Structure 1
Amino acid sequence: MENTVKMQKWPKVFLFGDSLTQLCFSPEGCWGAMLADQLTRRCDILARGFSGYNVRFCKELLPALLDKQTASETVAMTIFLGANDSNNKELNPQQHCPLEEYRQGLKDMVEFAMSQGVSREKIILITPPAVYEPDWRQYCKENGKTAALDNKVTETYAKACLEVADEMGTKKVDVYSRMVKEVDYQKYLSDGLHFSVKGSQLLFSLLWPIVQDLTSDLPELLFPRWDAINAADVKGSLLKA
């Protein structure tokens, strides 16, 4: 059989979470796009975000998304949940997830990812972002939703996320604490909950050093630069890649 250019398996950065992940390639919530830009021709960014989902939902969903093949190609994985879980139980029982269930659900997802072959040092837990309640109440009012988030409650979920990361030995990103260091942290949010461009840039700035380290041993580029290809023997040049 004639030699052909072999199929290239592309390493993956697996992003898992709620709307903050679902929107990670959008114009404002663009932190996933920023990762993709940095990892062009080195990694695929596999975004699996589900608007409105909480840990209870995501724990059941993850086995349908992360099989052993995908896990074997995953060089970094984010789990970014808590923004919905921290809803007030009385006002929004559908999305609310009790703190201890949230904590255990994160542990269960880390353990599942590890069972599939993603080592703990490749898993990154991201805290829910801070909530700016006046803007979120206005957004909910304009869109016929019930405003059921309290930033102080969100803080307890953020702390629980960090505690789980320490307990499980994973990486962690504390975007909540970084946001509330600034009095005008609402600039990081487009509607009081979801990221603005500034918020996406902030998360990227915290996440990228970890992902950069996890991908540091990958080739600088997959397949040779255009000027390294022998124009008289294109196939031969690519076969050597």
Structure 2
Amino acid sequence: MALNYDKIVLFGDSITQYAYNVNVSPFCLGPALQDVYTRKFDVIQRGYGGYTSAHAKLMIDKIIAHENTPTSKVKLMTVFFGTNDSTGPSSTIQHVPLETYVANMRYIAEKCKAADIKVVFIGAGPFNAHQWWPTRPGNPHNRTTIQAREYCDALVALGKEIGVPTVPMWDLLMEAVGWKEGDPLYGLEELSAENPLTEYFVDGLHYNAKSYKIEYDGVMNAIKQAYPELLPENVPLRLPEWASLTSPDVLEKALQ
């Protein structure tokens, strides 16, 4: 039926969960995608704060089964895990070894492909210790931007291997702040607290409007390069434009 919309599913951790929180970030990934796909696809949020690729591996079959129905299919899924996986081994709940992380993400992509769902990977962004740890006194310092980069790089390599476009948030955000290889690494605890990453995070980990805009641009570019048939301009509008509704019969026919 004309009112059964196919879907884009945003699957990830807290950065995906908060991707609709316009009270914190006036520009967010979720509303931005909903806007460009209005009357074309439903954009479904499946973000779970604190989750890792290990949790996602357990969930992917049920998410696909729930969202894929006889009348509504998932056309695209963004998969954004790695930020929590890349915590140090002292984080027994969240740490996922790099090799296991890659295997989990491969598994998720394979499950999506088997269900005829296009996939866009999103790799972990940098981490600004000077914003994060002051608000969490007593917590073990088990995150670094170096670890985050390793997981982002590994996901980019996996994406190239299996043909899944990847949005490398670590690289994109560091490029945005003007960092170049060989420069002091912004965000490290032992370096200056005054660094340009502060302008891109709410708390050193979660995104504000600047970072969500970079993520959005990255996702749209991935769609353009890998799945151009899913670009907004190439997806038919659901139901006719109002000017063509010259009689009730026109709408009644379109609703069938």
- TM-score, normalising length from structure 2? 0.82
Q: Deviations over 1:28-78 (max 9, x none)?
A: 271111111111111100111111000111100111111286287222211
Q: Distance in 1 between matches of 2:50 and 2:134?
A: 18
User: Which of 13, 18, 24 pairs up with 1:18?
Assistant: 13
Task: Tell me, yes or no, if the aligned pair for 2:240 and 2:254 is still in contact at 8 Å.
Answer: no
Alignment coverage as a number of residue pairs: 227
Query: Which deviates more, 132-141 or 189-198?
Result: 132-141
Q: Deviation of residue 148 (structure 1)?
A: 1.9
> How do residues 25-174 of structure 1 correspond to structure 2 at under 5 angstroms?
25-27=20-22, 28=25, 30-67=28-65, 70=68, 73-90=73-90, 92-118=91-117, 122-141=118-137, 145-174=139-168
Task: Tell me, yes or no, if the aligned pair for 1:136 and 1:147 is still in contact at 8 Å.
Answer: no
Counterpart code for 1:158? C
Task: Tell me, yes or no, if the aligned pair for 2:40 and 2:238 is still in contact at 8 Å.
Answer: yes
Identity %: 24
2:222 is the counterpart of 1:223: no
Q: Deviation of residue 140 (structure 1)?
A: 2.1
Unpaired segments of 5 or more residues in structure 2? 180-195
Question: SS of 1:124's equivalent?
Answer: strand
Query: Which deviates more, 20-29 or 34-43?
Result: 20-29
Q: Distance in 1 between matches of 2:156 and 2:222?
A: 15
Task: Tell me, yes or no, if the aligned pair for 2:124 and 2:170 is still in contact at 8 Å.
Answer: yes
Q: Deviation of residue 16 (structure 1)?
A: 0.7
Question: SS of 2:19's equivalent?
Answer: coil
Task: Tell me, yes or no, if the aligned pair for 2:2 and 2:239 is still in contact at 8 Å.
Answer: no
2:186 alignment partner in structure 1:
none
Counterpart code for 1:215? L
Task: Tell me, yes or no, if the aligned pair for 1:87 and 1:150 is still in contact at 8 Å.
Answer: yes
Task: Tell me, yes or no, if the aligned pair for 1:140 and 1:147 is still in contact at 8 Å.
Answer: no
Counterpart code for 2:19? C
Counterpart code for 1:208? M
Unpaired segments of 5 or more residues in structure 1? 1-5
Query: Which deviates more, 206-215 or 21-30?
Result: 206-215
> How do residues 180-219 of structure 1 correspond to structure 2 at under 5 angstroms?
180-181=174-175, 182=177, 183=179, 184-211=196-223, 213-216=228-231, 217-219=234-236
- TM-score, normalising length from structure 1? 0.87
Task: Tell me, yes or no, if the aligned pair for 1:42 and 1:218 is still in contact at 8 Å.
Answer: yes
Counterpart code for 2:74? T
Counterpart code for 2:97? P
Question: SS of 1:148's equivalent?
Answer: coil
Task: Tell me, yes or no, if the aligned pair for 1:15 and 1:79 is still in contact at 8 Å.
Answer: yes
